[in-house]
Amino acid sequence: MLASIAFLSYNLRMRYRKKVADAELELERANAEQMEMMSYIAELQKRLNETINEQEKEQIAEEIKNARKEYGNVRLVAKLMRQQYFPHPVFRKMLELIKNGEMPTTEDYDMIETTLCKNDKKLMSRFYKAAPAATDFEKKVFLLRRMGMTKTEISLLTAHAKNSIITAIGRFYEKQNTRRPKCSAEADDWILNI
Taking every pair of C-alpha atoms in the chain, what is the biggest distance, in angstroms?
79
| Mean pLDDT across 63-77 | 67
In the 3-class helix/strand/coil scheme, how is the chain assigned residue by residue?
CHHHHHHHHHHHHHHHHHHHHHHHHHHHHHHHHHHHHHHHHHHHHHHHHHCCCHHHHHHHHHHHHHHHHHHCHHHHHHHHHHHHHCCCHHHHHHHHHHHHCCCCCHHHHHHHHHHHHHHCCCHHHHHHHHCCCCCHHHHHHHHHHHCCCCHHHHHHHHCCCHHHHHHHHHHHHHHHHCCCCCCHHHHHHHHHCC
Of 59-73, 113-127, 143-157, least confident by mean pLDDT is: 59-73
Of 43-57, 103-117, 155-169, least confident by mean pLDDT is: 43-57
- pLDDT tens digits, 84-107: 778 888 988 998 888 888 899 999
Of 15-24, 72-81, 105-114, 140-149, least confident by mean pLDDT is: 15-24
Cα gap 40→35, rounded to integer Å: 9
- pLDDT tens digits, 13-45: 666 666 555 555 555 555 555 566 667 667 777
Other CB atoms closer than 10 Å to residue 126's CB: what's the count? 12
- At residue 6, the pLDDT reads 62
- At residue 106, the pLDDT reads 93
User: Which candidate, 115, 63, 118, places its Cα nearest to that of 86?
Assistant: 115
- pLDDT tens digits, 116-125: 999 888 989 8
Cα gap 170→119, rounded to integer Å: 26
- At residue 21, the pLDDT reads 57
